[in-house]
Chain A
Amino acid sequence: MSPTASKSDTPLQVIDNATCTFCGCVCDDIQLHHDEMRIHKAKKACVLGSAWFLNHTAEKKYPSALIDGKEATVDEAIEEAARLLHEADMPLVYGMSNTTCEAQKECAALADSLGGLLDSHTSL
């Protein structure tokens, strides 16, 4: 990470060889120019990849958590999620496309401890 000059006065930070996870190519040669709030440039990324990098910001755009449509804290939402899943006889754990392997491993543990179902996008 080294600061470089940019068109605006605030120097952007640069990350070399960042990884794009938008498609299965998982290009790992992207150069990201960012100011900690948003990514301004994603060099070497294709149109899909730059859209993916430039559309996410570190702003708090959404509430941390929602329970029945009402804003809640993450702690409350985690407790409520655990309660609903534990009460269920046959809970389903599904998805895992847009997430990390570390989270996927936790999902496998979740389905295991619940005695539930575990499935991904692959089955579609």
Chain B
Amino acid sequence: MGGKVTCTLGEVKQRADFIIYWGGNPAECHPRHFSKYTLMQKSKFLPKGRKDRTMVLVDIRETKSVKASDIFLQVRPGKDFELITILRALVKEQQVTDEQIEETGLSREALNDLVSRMKAAKFGCMFFGMGLSMTRGKHMNSAALLTLAAEMNAFTKFVAMPMRGHGNVTGADVIMRWQTGFPFGISFNRGYPRYNPGEFSTIDVLVRGDCDAAFIIGADPGGTMPQPAINHLKRIPTIVLDPHITHTSKLARVHITTAAQGIAAPGTAYRMDEIPMPLKPALKSPYPSDEEVVRRINEAIAKKPFWLPEGSMPQMVTEQV
């Protein structure tokens, strides 16, 4: 996500008068997004709150979020990339044929109207969900939308932000970037981090059967991944850390129950705009925290010999440099 044009939700709350949700259903998946950050809040710059803001929803079907929107654009499934590309062309007043527009399931008037509204906005923000980033085109769709946001800055202030779900996935990105330089899909098998999604991403690794042990924490691939990946998890020794006995725990060799983050375990979680939030656990769990268990596993492994054959230790920045 290097070079992404973005901002914090605080700025959106204070300034964004034009909001696009693309491929997401915040009304049901992020219920307080509208009220807390994007639509309902009044601010110095938007004193009338909701009335000062325009909300556009782009999705392949009508969801509960449509009710909250001013304009709903129903894009044909799998045509998000085409639609974004057409918008990028229209913004720059380049030629787009009727057939190209028709392919997306939308009309030229609707798109011209959208483009003129985008240009007229004082502060535009596009939120994109899994409907964009997990369907045909995947990260190319996100990249195209981020480019559109960047290009809009020739006319007005425009930003884009992914709608992250699933607890602290944003934190996982941030921590991996901080520790390794890469956000996900990392291999340390040469002694230094390398990044190659598709080769080192979990589904691919499991389906090919590339790994010979798995350590699963704060996730349940046994309930969500394709069957060949689950079959491989069954074949190899799998270790699970979770507050519950999950699908994955049932096929694992080792399960350790841990305290639930934010409820019984303290720590930090990242909001979707990459703002870290301290957690305030209310309960005292009979179980240890994830942090403690992983640290103790690390200590137990540190007592064992290093994994490379003797003499081929990579040059590491340690005491004996």
Whether A94 and B221, one on each chain, are in contact in the complex, defined by CB atoms closer than 8 angstroms, is yes
Instruction: Please list 25 pairs of residues, one from A and one from B, whose beta carbons are closer than 8 Å in the complex, sorted by A's number.
Output: A19-B279, A21-B261, A24-B165, A24-B169, A24-B272, A25-B37, A25-B272, A56-B264, A60-B287, A62-B257, A81-B215, A81-B300, A84-B237, A84-B239, A96-B169, A98-B242, A100-B266, A100-B268, A100-B291, A101-B268, A101-B276, A104-B172, A117-B189, A118-B176, A120-B172
Whether B239 and A85, one on each chain, are in contact in the complex, defined by CB atoms closer than 8 angstroms, is yes
Interchain nearest-CB distance for A36 vs B (Å): 6
Whether B280 and A19, one on each chain, are in contact in the complex, defined by CB atoms closer than 8 angstroms, is yes
Interface residues of chain A: helix, strand, loop or mixed (majority): mixed
Q: 15 new A-B pairs (CB below 8 Å) besides A81-B256, A88-B236, A123-B185?
A: A26-B272, A46-B31, A59-B286, A78-B256, A85-B213, A90-B211, A95-B217, A98-B166, A98-B218, A98-B242, A106-B290, A112-B188, A119-B202, A119-B205, A124-B201
Whether B174 and A101, one on each chain, are in contact in the complex, defined by CB atoms closer than 8 angstroms, is yes
The 9 closest A-B pairs by CB, nearest first: A100-B267, A95-B219, A88-B213, A82-B300, A24-B272, A46-B31, A123-B201, A99-B218, A103-B290
Cβ of B171 under 8 Å from chain A = yes
Cβ of A47 under 8 Å from chain B = yes
Whether B262 and A19, one on each chain, are in contact in the complex, defined by CB atoms closer than 8 angstroms, is yes
Among A74, A85, A110, point to the contact of B256 (Cβ < 8 A). A74
B interface bracket (residues with beta carbon within 8 Å of A): 35 or more
| Chain B residues with a Cβ under 8 A of chain A | 29-33, 36-37, 134, 163-176, 179-180, 183-191, 193, 197, 200-203, 205-206, 210-219, 221, 236-237, 239, 241-245, 249, 252-257, 260-272, 276-280, 282-291, 293-298, 300-302, 304, 307-308
A interface bracket (residues with beta carbon within 8 Å of B): 35 or more
Whether B243 and A56, one on each chain, are in contact in the complex, defined by CB atoms closer than 8 angstroms, is yes
Among B175, B206, B301, point to the contact of A110 (Cβ < 8 A). B301
